[in-house]
Amino acid sequence: MAPTTCFNCKEARAVVIRPKNRHKLCRSCFIEIFETEVHETITSSKLFFPGERIAIGASGGKDSTVLAAVLKTLNERYNYGLELILLSIDEGIRGYRDDSLETVKRNAVQYDMPLTIVGYGELYGWTMDQVVEQVGKKGNCTYCGVFRRQALDRGAERLDIKHVVTGHNADDVAETVMMNLLRGDLPRLSRGTSIITESGASDTKRSKPLKYAYEKEIVLYAHHRQLDYFSTECIYSPEAFRGSARTLIKDLEKIRPSSILDIVKSGEDMAALVPGQAPGGKSCKSSAPAAGAAEEETGGCGSQNGRSSGGEMAAMEQQLASNDGAESRETEIKMPKKGKVSVGKKIKTQTLQHCERCGYISSQPICKACNLLDGLNRNRPKTAIEVGMEDEEGSSTLMRQMEHVQLTNS
């Protein structure tokens, strides 16, 4: 059978089917379309301004690696005029983060971007290896998530940067929406849905340029551009509430493939019910970026993202690698359309203040990180704070299984 030609260029062999429109695309058209969609997200949300210095939260994983690669490409292609800097947090996890940081160091050379690494050890006096030694594996992500949030902010402060971008994708946002829907936590749902999150007291904002990119597409993009990224899961990675939300979404997706972006869209609509939210999830100026909540908005560790739930990431990568030699195979992906935004009634939000100890933004006199450190330092970790389920879910990302379909001649 003759190979199927690309729907877009009508010349090259198609290697990808986008479930969004069933278009069969060649490698270069897929890459260009992916990049163009991220560009549209950036411009429609007015994410950047010329001359802006941007810290890319770089974990070495696929999402932040793709983010760095795409931002570099778009910055050059469209003359954004951005100064791009890689900012990595070293949680102090031997055999995991030290290896992924080696990937980030290579990325820094590959993309010609400066790299700053900030460690938990220097910031808090505790590495995650030490925390786990004290508190055990269960619940360790609570500490890691709260600490990371602050570490990214402090790293940005050191660099005198006011804008941190992270590799959160549509799947991550959909999971956050689902989790907060199940909890009935509209303010947190709103913050997690916004493409930009700002705090009333800090001039550092966060944004998610990949907010509308399916994780499947991110993996495909990394694969077809042969990006250098790290795909091993965290050795402390747990299963938790986010995993359940993910499973639920995956089940929904089987019945209704557009579910991921539909959930994102619904989250944006619900966010409009919260005071101070811009329609369309464009920007969220939160009055209460409690550490755990904020962590959930901006994500976590690039580790507890579902790789622990069955190695989907590894399976997908293996499949992609084998596809390289399989002329008759393609990968199907889908990105549904955006919809309208509704407006509704106001709800109560928390009051913002600064931690009396460290000055970090907190809804309590002492921030969660300081409370956690108190507990650790007193050898009473479990009495630290009332961190809810949400704090254990600070990060996200699970690799969704890709759909590989057999192309037939069209």
Ligand X SMILES: Nc1ncnc2c1ncn2[C@@H]1O[C@H](COP(=O)(O)OP(=O)(O)OP(=O)(O)O)[C@@H](O)[C@H]1O
Residue from 187, 192, 267, 302 binding ligand X (CB under 6 A): 302
Give the contacts of 76 (CB within 8 A, at least 6 positions apart). none
- Name the burial class of residue 338, with classes exposed (0-12), middle (13-18) and buried (19+) by CB atoms within 10 angstroms of its CB: middle
Query: What DSSP character marks residue 351?
Result: P
- 305 is a contact residue toward ligand X (CB under 6 A): yes
Choices 195-203, 300-308, 314-322, 372-380; region in contact with ligand X by CB under 6 A: 300-308
Q: In the complex, which residue's CB is closest to ligand X?
A: 61
CA distance 172 to 188: 14
- 300 is a contact residue toward ligand X (CB under 6 A): yes
Which residue, 194 or 395, is less far from ligand X as judged by CB?
A: 395
- 397 is a contact residue toward ligand X (CB under 6 A): yes
Q: In the window 215-254, what residues touch ligand X (CB under 6 A)?
A: none
- 267 is a contact residue toward ligand X (CB under 6 A): no
DSSP per-residue string spanning 11-73: SSBP-EEETTTTEEE-HHHHHHHHHHHHHHHHHHTT---TT-EEEEE--SSHHHHHHHHHHHH
Bridge partners, 25 (sequence order) = 16
Which residue, 57 or 292, is less far from ligand X as judged by CB?
A: 57
90 among the known binding-site residues?
no
Identify which of 1, 65, 77 has the alpha carbon closest to the alpha carbon of residue 39.
77
Query: What DSSP character marks residue 153?
Result: H
Structure-token match 């790299």, residue found: 115
63 among the known binding-site residues?
yes
Which residue, 45 or 88, is less far from ligand X as judged by CB?
A: 88
Site string for ligand X, 22-61 (x = CB under 6 A): -----------------------------------xxx-x
CA distance 91 to 95: 12
In this structure, are residues 341 and 272 in contact, taking their beta carbons and an 8 Å threshold?
Answer: yes
Q: In the window 147-186, what residues touch ligand X (CB under 6 A)?
A: 166-168, 172
Which residue, 150 or 166, is less far from ligand X as judged by CB?
A: 166
Give the residue ranges of the annotated binding site for ATP. 57-59, 63, 89, 167, 172
Binding site for ligand X (CB under 6 A): 57-59, 61-64, 88-89, 166-168, 172, 299-302, 305, 395-397
Give the residue ranges of the annotated binding site. 57-59, 63, 89, 167, 172
